[in-house]
Structure 1
Amino acid sequence: MNLAENRIDTFLEAQAAELGAARNTLMAYGRDLRAYAGWLITRGGRGLLTATQADVEAYLVACDAEGLAQATRARRLSSIRQFYRFAVDEGWRSDNPAIRLQGPGRSRALPRTLTEGQVERLLDAAPQVGRVEVEQVRNGALLALLYATGMRVSELVGLPLAAAQGNPEMLLVRGKGGKERLVPLSPPARAALAAWLVVRARDKRRAASPWLFPSSGRAGHLTRHRFYGLIKQIATHAGIDPDAVTPHRLRHAFATHLLANGADLRVIQTLLGHADLATTEIYTHVLDARLRALVEAHHPLGTTRRKTDPEG
């Protein structure tokens, strides 16, 4: 397997584990990225990780010249953009050459998020899910830490025990590409973490592990796939459609709720570990969309109110 195939497969595995991407979606991503990688080879031997913005633009022009439908070209750009976003997160490259490119007649999709009420229900439900106390307390800590910090799920499950010792007010997170950042812990998150450390220390099998969230699997700690399954169980217990809840959507909720409550975009960029502010700016569009929906639903002249008003 060559390097490009390896990177594409890693990307697809992460999409399945972290975002719960459907099989058809993964197949489409794979087809699009392999077609793009094959085209790059014809462009002077370029590779996925060395391509420039000009290369991506030239590829879109080539797709248009090939007579591909607008929807197909838009989907290919979306696949390429998602891959490069993941590549930046993983530290494979320092920039996303497709992030500023506009699709053919289609606007950039906004990330789906969760309301503050839905998150509260998830946080309340998490400590109630599990066969025994140690699992219940662990699940409560996992959800509390994820929402309090906006960590990627891979960063959360891979936390070393040393990062949480001493009742810390901040966690040192080692992100993609080995980049480190400090993320503050809210009082509820600190309480959930402290409770987990107490229960964890009483469990002889877990107490000896160097990982904060140990597992008997090969990795030694909880995996992305296992956490994905857990969050679906927690959503069901909370009375929320499990299809609407993924670990990455909680990360989006963290950023969107911070922004809605007045946080600076640069601060959110730092907390999320984004290398490029343009990646973080998508949350301003999410907030704009939510505000428009509120106005349309509740303002006397809103379109939703006019359509439903029996006297309108």
Structure 2
Amino acid sequence: MIGFPHASAFRDRHGKVRYRFRKKGLPTVYLPGVPGSLEFAAAYEAAASGAKPLAIGQGRTKPGTINALAVAAFESADWSALAESTQRNYRGVMERLRRDHGDKTVRSLTPEIVLRLRDRIPGQAARNNFIKALRWFLAFAVARGWRQDNPASAVVKIKYRTEGYHTWTEAEVAAFEKRWPVGTKQRLAMDLLLYTGQRSKDVRLMGRQSLTGDGIRVRQSKTGTELTIPLHPRLAASLATVPGDQMLFLPTQYGPAYTATGFYNWIKAACREAGVAECSPHGLRKCIATRMADAGCTHSEIMAVTGHKHPKEVETYIRARDQRRLASSAMAKIGTDAERDLANLPNRLAK
């Protein structure tokens, strides 16, 4: 193991160190680059998601095909402008589409075909993600004259109810803290996620370069928003345990930062050991937003920490706080001191 689940290193017959991904139920994939590089991370994420690598010779694409569209898109400035997480999601969608339909032409896609492709995908969230990614690639095709319209634009988003990632309760936070006390890397990870309110990607890359005065400075990878968040005393206590010569706060055992999948799996393992298996890294971002709402923070105050762009994105936390507050006020007005007199008469009910 090299810090990436199901990935291992070996020497080939020429003595060169190589890496491969092997997991039951998924194809074996040889990984390029070295652990910690973007090339390695992209290949690892694709292998872990089940996306099969292209067959040898498939890179010689025919003009106008879905394969050719993928190659052109991945090499474009438009692609490099996307956030890394967006690239990862879109690449997974396109690679699966290439695997089954790469030799078909982009012009052959119609709204009816897009719908059929969508409906074959299990899960409503995955179906919406497929349409979102395909819209981007086909908009790219339209901009370059590959076709005149975007058939994915005609497919509406599926509406469904979901609570998303589970929000950590205070009891779950306490259970994790009990199992992983200050001084452990797991506790530092939780404190960074909870007391900065940032996404996993930004927390994974935090280090001494992020510290400024008595706060942590972050440029959010997803939105580009720049934030400076004051150090909470609990986070300061955890950071005080980091060795002085260590730049990255949460390195893997081999030094570089975790990949998205590696970090998620590591936190999930720590949660299971703490007896809070339902919890995940993103749930701590929701937990701190809930805490701030319960403390009476305004939309703007919460957004100043989380970096959300629009008030409606934090409205859920404000609305839940107000509901509890109003319900408590309403029940308190009923009173419980004495049983109220009824209007019933001795021998019959009152009208």
Preserved CA contact (<8 Å) 2:215 2:230: yes
Residue of structure 1 equivalent to 2:181: 127
Residue of structure 2 equivalent to 1:158: 205
TM-score (norm 2): 0.49
Residue of structure 2 equivalent to 1:272: 306
Preserved CA contact (<8 Å) 2:165 2:280: no
Give distance in 2, aligned partners of 1:271 and 1:169: 15
TM-score (norm 1): 0.54
Q: 1:169 aligns with which of 201, 210, 214?
A: 214
Give distance in 2, aligned partners of 1:193 and 1:74: 40
Give distance in 2, aligned partners of 1:178 and 1:141: 24
Residue of structure 2 equivalent to 1:213: 250
Give distance in 2, aligned partners of 1:290 and 1:81: 35
Determine which structure has more spread, i.e. the larger CA radius of gyration. 2
Residue of structure 2 equivalent to 1:116: 170
Name the SS of the counterpart of 1:112 in structure 2.
coil
Give distance in 2, aligned partners of 1:230 and 1:110: 20
Give distance in 2, aligned partners of 1:170 and 1:178: 18
Shift of 1:125: 2.1
Amino acid in structure 2 at the alignment position of 1:163? S
Q: After the TM superposition, which of the residue ranges 154-163 and 104-113 deviates more from structure 2? A: 104-113
Residue of structure 1 equivalent to 2:191: 144
Shift of 1:250: 1.4
Give the fraction of aligned pairs with identical amino acids, expressed as a percent. 20
The 1:229–1:63 alpha-carbon spacing in structure 2 relative to 1, beyond 3 Å, is: closer
Preserved CA contact (<8 Å) 2:293 2:321: no
Name the SS of the counterpart of 1:182 in structure 2.
strand
Structure 1 unmatched ranges of 5 or more: 16-25, 36-40, 46-58, 85-100, 129-135, 202-206, 300-312
Q: After the TM superposition, which of the residue ranges 221-230 and 264-273 deviates more from structure 2? A: 221-230
Shift of 1:283: 3.6
Structure 2 unmatched ranges of 5 or more: 1-69, 101-105, 135-154, 333-351
Amino acid in structure 2 at the alignment position of 1:211? L
Give distance in 1, aligned partners of 2:282 and 2:205: 16
Give distance in 2, aligned partners of 1:81 and 1:258: 35
Higher helix share goes to which structure?
Answer: 1
Q: How big is the alpha-carbon RMSD for the aligned residues of Structure 1 and Structure 2? A: 5.0
1:202-260 alpha-carbon deviations (Å, 9 max, x no partner): xxxxx2x5423334647x334433332332232123222x2x12111111212122223
1:88-138 alpha-carbon deviations (Å, 9 max, x no partner): xxxxxxxxxxxxx9955634655431211111221232238xxxxxxx533
Shift of 1:147: 0.7
Give distance in 1, aligned partners of 2:207 and 2:180: 22
The 1:106–1:143 alpha-carbon spacing in structure 2 relative to 1, beyond 3 Å, is: closer
Matched residue count: 230
1:16-65 alpha-carbon deviations (Å, 9 max, x no partner): xxxxxxxxxx9889869x99xxxxx769x9xxxxxxxxxxxxx7x9978x
Shift of 1:13: 8.4
Preserved CA contact (<8 Å) 2:207 2:247: yes
